[in-house]
Amino acid sequence: MRDGARDREALATAPRLAPVLRATTLTKRYGEVAAVDGVTFALEPGTITGFLGPNGAGKTTTLRLLLGLAAPTSGTATVFGRPYRELDDPSRRVGALLGSDDFDPGRSGRNHLRALALAAGLEMPRVEDVLALVELTAAADRPVRGYSLGMRQRLGLAAALLGDPELLILDEPANGLDPAGVHWLRAFLRGFAGSGRTVLMCTHVLAEVAQTVDAVLILSRGRLVAERHMSDLPDPRALEAMYLEATAGEPA
């Protein structure tokens, strides 16, 4: 038996691991408007999933529901089998980056992370670890007001990594990064997933998605309209065609 066939057979017969994250008919209504409408999906451990859709499709609202920052109108969201708010020591299980402006502009990057570590009961040496990991050590003592957008993104990612989590939930993590920064982020996320951990990444950059993720979820008008493993697509260009077809008629 050839190695490739043997690998496929082993994968097919391997026991399925419990999903890291699961949304079941997740719904959020604001009056008559359904921002999220019956969304169901699950994330396997050791994978990167791209969460795609036009502006206003409900992606950020879905992330907020997953993280317990908003209550669903109906349906459920669980992380490691439990609602996020019921997790013991959640900062050690889940790291999140939902924006690049949640900083005190007069505080240094290092002190921002120290404050977060103190609040979460994390050891201070971890601050220096994540600063080095996101390549911000040289700028760590500068006030955040002087950081570029890309540097703020790196600081936000450092904050998400403080607890050395098993799951990362990221909203537009490549926003503001230059090409070298995007290349760094791609390699980092692949290494993170390669260690058995999991990423859900919301983004608009389809070309980067095609090089980074294992699977995609496409949201349109609050509904999950497509779910596909990248290995099922004939080539990376097929992702754009699938995305455009799935979201046809929705404003960009």
Give residue-wise pLDDT tens across range 181-210: 899 999 999 999 999 999 999 988 888 888
* CA–CA distance, 59 with 45 (Å, rounded to integer): 21
Confidence of residue 95 (pLDDT cuts 50, 70, 90): very high
User: Which band of pLDDT confidence, cut at 50, 70 and 90, is reported for residue 16?
Assistant: low
Structural domains of the chain in order of their starting residue, each with its CATH number: 19-93+165-252 (3.40.50.300), 104-164 (no CATH)
pTM value is 0.88
Average of per-residue pLDDT across 56-78 = 95
* Encoded tokens for 204: 């608009």
CA-CA distance, 119 to 42, in Å (whole number)? Answer: 30
Determine the Cα–Cα distance for residues 91 and 160; give it in Å rounded to an integer. 8
Q: 49 pLDDT exceeds 70?
A: yes
Average pLDDT of span 238-242: 90
Mean pLDDT for 123-130 is: 96
Q: pLDDT class for 168, splitting at 50, 70, 90? A: very high
Relative orientation angle of helices 109-120 and 149-161, to the nearest 10 degrees: 20
